[in-house]
Amino acid sequence: MRALLGVVIVLAGLSACSAAKQEPATADLQWAETSRPVDARLAERYERSCAVCHARNGSGAPLAGFAPHWKPRLDKGINQLVQHASDGFNAMPAMGQCNDCSAGDLRALTLFMARSGT
């Protein structure tokens, strides 16, 4: 009986873990694929540098506009996110491959992708 109870507890724990990982819905994927910053200059930079990874689910990058991917990052602060974009972090290349982006551009693009502004 104890063994059965142990199995039930383990399975309940595993199902809780899998439920915690939220996958983007069709609308989230569509937003990521089609949305661009309103500012034309930022939109051009986003298109050639950010969208390659952030507009495709499964790339390893947080999906643009998908709050569950961005919340834990935003919890560390926008300054930390901009620093990671500038210096590179994990698979994120330095400057997000946008060598003509200013720190302000990186901040605005990050806020756009996190749907926190711009």
Distance CA 23, CA 2 (A): 35
The answer to whether residue 14 scores a pLDDT higher than 60 is no
Domain-located, residue 68: yes
Mean pLDDT for 8-16 is 41
Task: Say which CATH number the domain at 39 has.
Answer: 1.10.760.10
pLDDT band at 11 (very low <50, low <70, confident <90, very high): very low
Give the pLDDT of residue 117.
55
Domain-located, residue 42: yes
For residue 89, give the 3-state DSSP assignment: strand
Q: Which domain holds residue 44?
A: 24-113
Distance CA 90, CA 28 (A): 24
The answer to whether residue 53 scores a pLDDT higher than 70 is yes
Distance CA 3, CA 91 (A): 43
Alpha-carbon Rg for the chain, nearest whole angstrom, is 18
